[in-house]
Amino acid sequence: MKLKNFYLMVSFMAALMINPMVVLAQSSVSLQLYNAVVSIEETEEIQQPEYQYSLFNGFEMEEKFDRSAKIEIQKNGKNLDIKDNGEREFVWITLRVPPKTNLKIEITRDGKIQAKNISGDLDIQVFNGEIDLESIFGGLSLISVRDTEISLDQSNIESIRSPIFISTYSGKVESKFNPKSNFNLLLSTEMGEIKSNYEIKIQEDTSSPFEVKSTSGTDIQYPQFVEHSVNGGGAMVSFRTILGDISVVK
Amino acid sequence: MKRKFFQIFKEPEIFSTPKEQEELFELWEKLDGLEVQNKSKYHLTKFGSPGFAKIANIAALILLSIVLGILTGKWMYEQKPEKELITGLNADFSVTRIRSVQSIEEKDLEKQEVVTALLHVLNTDVNENVRLATLGVLNPLIKDDRVRTEMIKSIANQPSTLVQVNILRSIVLQTSDGDFEDLKFLLDEKQIASMTKVRIQKLISS
């Protein structure tokens, strides 16, 4: 085989193999905690996730910045796993993550999560809680098993490119989007209310066993659901709840 | 070249006399004079020279083959959505699994193995949002009897009331004849939430 042909074959095969399986090494953080207050900050100043935490057992707060018997921490390069060992204390944790870090947060009881300007994916599961998210550029999957108040402010993002899925049992989902953003909106609440200043049509569900109820003089029918293309459609934005209220404003 | 002449020079039996050796030195000097190292550099680097053109040709062909490789790889993956689906569904992050499910296009739904994989996801994925995303992709197929039957069965498999009522809503919206008798068996299923049962009861009796 001629050398030139060999080079061609090698480069062709190399290109074939690396595409589209090219996966740039991303950081990832996994938290599995019982009760937690989590604050997440993304910064370009660091290459690997960093953390600080403190524990509160109901009587005193103890500052800890290193390995603890009560918290299991595994740090492997760009990956950080933090678990509590069921001591059932509150953990306050502050995470600093590099851009494009994927975050998975499971809080089995009460959780308060605050995150802003996140470019990686966020995968959140809480039981009860309060979640305050702003400018989530990556994808979002959020599940709340019980009563949770969720605030999602995407008003600084003109182009929503990743899916946003929020499912809750009860509580509130309040969201704000940039008027220029395009996405497919899917909302449903079985026994709550949908409010929006988008021109959406709340559709009827013929399987509804529930009667019309009156709130502030306005009759509304529930369950309520909405399927609407905002500015021509795009990534899926899905908010679904059983008992909760949903608000979507621009 | 130098090595060759050096080797010849090192063989005294061939050039044994001083005269012959001197002639050889002269010949070597002449040949050294013919070495055109500067010309070689000129050959390889100067724009427009034959050497440059040759290197540029090879570089262009390698670049072309890389581009072709990337396009071929992309095409191959686009032809195998079920493979991508299965790969993506092993991801640890639910958002990755949602993306994987949503990457299925309408034309891919004509493939039986894709529909089977999606129904499997609807029944088994641990994450409620992944199951709801899958429901959204399966929606256009509910008019197909087989898919409808599988989705009704799936209601009984769902531990989440939210997913149960959303599957039920999708089925209701895709049922034009108002016949919901095939939902009746769900009323006896233990896992079905009372909220879902009330709705099924209403659908059957109306």
pLDDT of residue A19: 54
Place of tokens 């050497």: B51
> Does A119 lie at the interface with B, CB-CB under 8 angstroms?
no
Answer yes or no: do A165 and B98 touch at CB < 8 A: yes
Q: Which residue has the tokens 């293309």?
A: A229
* Inter-residue contact B125 to B89 (CB < 8 Å): yes
Higher pLDDT, B94 or B75: B94
Question: Would the CB atoms of B95 and A139 count as touching at under 8 Å?
Answer: yes
- Tell me the chain A residues in contact with residue B129 when contact means C-beta distances shorter than 8 Å: 141-143, 165-167, 238
Asked if residue B43 has pLDDT above 60, the reply is: no
**Can you give the pLDDT at residue A65?**
39
Our CA-based measurement puts residue B52 at a distance from the nearest CA of chain A, in whole angstroms, of: 15
**B53 close contact with A: CB closer than 8 A:** no
List the pLDDT tens digit at each of the 250 positions of chain A: 566 677 777 776 776 666 544 445 689 999 999 889 999 999 999 999 999 988 765 544 444 433 444 788 898 888 999 998 766 678 889 999 999 999 999 999 899 999 999 999 999 999 999 999 999 999 999 999 989 999 999 999 999 999 999 999 999 999 999 999 999 999 999 888 889 999 888 776 666 666 555 455 555 556 788 999 999 999 999 999 999 999 999 9
Q: How far apart are CA A41 and CA B196, in angstroms?
A: 41
3-state class (DSSP) for residue B184: helix
Does any CB of chain A come closer than 8 Å to the CB of residue B98?
yes
Instruction: Determine the distance from the C-alpha atom of residue A43 to the mean position of all C-alpha atoms in its chain, rounded to a whole number.
Output: 18
Residue whose C-alpha is closest to residue B129's, from A183, A143, A102: A143
Q: What is the pLDDT of residue A225?
A: 85
What's the pLDDT score for residue A123? 97
Q: Is there a contact between A12 and B68 if contact means CB atoms under 8 Å apart? A: yes
pLDDT tens figures, A172-216: 999 999 999 999 999 999 888 889 999 888 776 666 666 555 455
DSSP A22-38: ------EEEEEESEEEE
What confidence category does residue B205 fall into, taking pLDDT thresholds of 50, 70 and 90? Answer: confident
| Digit-coded pLDDT (tens) for B134-183 | 999 999 999 999 999 999 999 999 999 999 999 999 999 888 888 899 99
Mean pLDDT across B4-14 = 55
> Is B3 a residue whose pLDDT tops 60?
no
Among the partner-chain residues A4, A20, A138, the one whose CB lies closest to the CB of B73 is A20
Chain A CB within 8 Å of residue B156 CB = no
B175 touches chain A (CB under 8 A): no
β-partners of residue A147 are A170
Cα-based distances in Å from B186 to A158, A222, B154, B177, B178:
44, 23, 10, 20, 17
Q: Would you give the DSSP letter of residue B140?
A: G
B70 touches chain A (CB under 8 A): yes
CB contact under 8 A, A208 and B195: no
Give mean pLDDT, residues B33-58. Answer: 65
User: How does strand A245-249 pair with strand A164-177?
Assistant: parallel
Contact call for A7 and B165, based on CB within 8 A: no
Whether B165 and A241 lie within 8 Å, measured CB to CB: no
pLDDT above 50 (res B118): yes
Strands A79-84 vs A183-189: parallel, antiparallel or unpaired: unpaired
Whether B95 sits inside 8 A of A138 (CB atoms) is: yes
Share of chain B above pLDDT 90, in %: 40
Q: Which residues pair with A154 in a beta bridge?
A: A177
Chain A residues with CB inside 8 Å of B128's CB? Answer: 143, 167
- Give me the interface pTM, i.e. the ipTM: 0.84
Per-residue pLDDT band for B105 (boundaries 50, 70, 90) equals confident
Q: Are B159 and B173 in contact (CB under 8 A)?
A: no
Please tell me the predicted confidence (pLDDT) of residue B46: 62
